[in-house]
């Protein structure tokens, strides 16, 4: 495997290419910008089309879940989307937060930021903004967000524990997150684990499920809950790019699980009322 910085640059370049091509091509390929024989994204992605706030032009088919469906966003909330891409989850979140809420999308690919801003402009949204930056060092002040969402992005960041600490930092006390991502139970074969393209394709960067959940608990989050889990199966025709027939056979025999999970967790503390809203007490 290449160095952390080299891998980040490869991921950034892949997603720059994806930003410049249409959803149809993305949905038929593993990493969006690779050959149509690679179908990992087709397997991973969930259908957004029936969800309120969905914007087809902003859906590049790159996710592995529907975190905004589980995020419990309320009118007036400030929501941050990590790895916001062309803006799809931001626009769904904006529907839930309403015109009185605010949505901030963060992405480290400039072409994605540009595409998302164009999409927001077409929709006339003035309370959705997109910021260029790394999600392991967010361009956001402490205690900003009521809710954080993310869709198949943490696996692309080498230091996942640092991202989770950043999520804790920028959430308000009492705030929460709902994040969809890829995790493992068992070990990937070296041919997959060490390949930079498979890292960009949301597979090689995945960590063990228990380690992932452990990082969340260690950061101080409570009420950690797996809201949804689904099995991801990589077709043999994709595996053949990276593994021999014997290695594929061995992989299929071993106890390896690749999963998309959506996890919810809360930052302890009392939620403060949004600006302009009065606090209410149950026993006043």
Count of domains forming the chain: 1
Kindly state whether residue 278 falls inside one of the protein's structural domains.
no
Kindly state whether residue 275 falls inside one of the protein's structural domains.
no
Summary mean pLDDT of the chain: 86
Average pLDDT, integer, range 43-53: 85
Tens digits of residue pLDDT in 251-273: 888 889 999 999 999 999 976 55
CA distance 200 to 157: 10
Kindly state whether residue 271 falls inside one of the protein's structural domains.
no
What is the per-residue pLDDT for 2? 66
Kindly state whether residue 276 falls inside one of the protein's structural domains.
no
What is the per-residue pLDDT for 67? 96
What is the per-residue pLDDT for 22? 59
**Sign of torsion over alpha carbons 158, 161, 165, 170:** positive
Q: What domain range is 27 assigned to?
A: 4-266
CATH number at residue 72: 3.40.50.150
* 142 pLDDT higher than 60: yes
Average pLDDT, integer, range 234-244: 86
* 234 pLDDT higher than 60: yes
Tens digits of residue pLDDT in 75-133: 999 999 999 999 999 999 999 999 999 999 999 999 999 999 999 999 999 999 999 99
Q: Which of 42, 53, 37 is nearest to 87 (CA)?
A: 53
CA 280 to chain centre: 34
Kindly state whether residue 127 falls inside one of the protein's structural domains.
yes
Kindly state whether residue 229 falls inside one of the protein's structural domains.
yes
Average pLDDT, integer, range 206-224: 97
- 23: tokens are 């959803």
Average pLDDT, integer, range 66-75: 97
Kindly state whether residue 283 falls inside one of the protein's structural domains.
no
pTM over 0.75: yes
* 225 pLDDT higher than 80: yes
Looking only at the bridges linking them, the beta strands covering 78-82 and 102-107 are parallel
What is the per-residue pLDDT for 276? 44
* 42 pLDDT higher than 50: no
Kindly state whether residue 282 falls inside one of the protein's structural domains.
no
Q: Residues of the chain with pLDDT > 70: what percent? A: 86
**Sign of torsion over alpha carbons 63, 17, 117, 139:** positive
């Amino acid at each position: 495997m290449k160095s952390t910085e080299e891998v980040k640059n490869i991921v950034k370049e892949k997603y720059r290419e994806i930003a410049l091509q249409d959803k149809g091509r993305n949905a038929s390929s593993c990493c969006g910008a690779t050959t149509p024989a690679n179908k990992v994204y087709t397997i991973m992605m969930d259908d957004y089309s029936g969800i309120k706030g969905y914007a087809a032009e902003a859906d590049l088919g790159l996710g592995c879940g529907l975190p905004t469906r589980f995020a419990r966003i309320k009118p007036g909330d400030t929501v941050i989307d990590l790895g916001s891409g062309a803006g799809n989850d931001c626009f769904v979140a904006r529907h839930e937060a309403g015109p009185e809420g605010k949505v901030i999308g963060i992405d480290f690919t400039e072409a994605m930021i540009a595409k998302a801003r164009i999409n927001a402009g077409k929709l006339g949204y003035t309370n959705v903004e997109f910021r260029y930056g790394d999600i392991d060092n967010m361009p956001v002040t402490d205690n900003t967000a009521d809710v954080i969402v993310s869709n198949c992005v943490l696996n692309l960041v080498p230091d996942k524990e640092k991202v989770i600490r950043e999520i804790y930092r920028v959430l308000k006390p009492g705030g929460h997150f709902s994040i969809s991502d890829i995790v493992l139970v068992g070990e990937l074969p070296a041919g997959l684990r060490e390949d930079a393209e498979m890292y960009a394709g949301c597979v090689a960067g995945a960590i063990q499920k228990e380690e992932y959940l452990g990082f969340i608990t260690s950061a101080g989050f409570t009420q950690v809950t797996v809201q949804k889990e689904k099995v991801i199966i990589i077709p043999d025709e994709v595996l053949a790019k990276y593994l021999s027939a014997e290695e594929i056979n061995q992989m299929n025999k071993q106890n390896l699980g690749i999963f998309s999970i959506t996890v919810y967790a809360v930052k302890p503390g009392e939620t403060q009322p949004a600006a302009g809203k009065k606090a209410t007490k149950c026993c006043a």
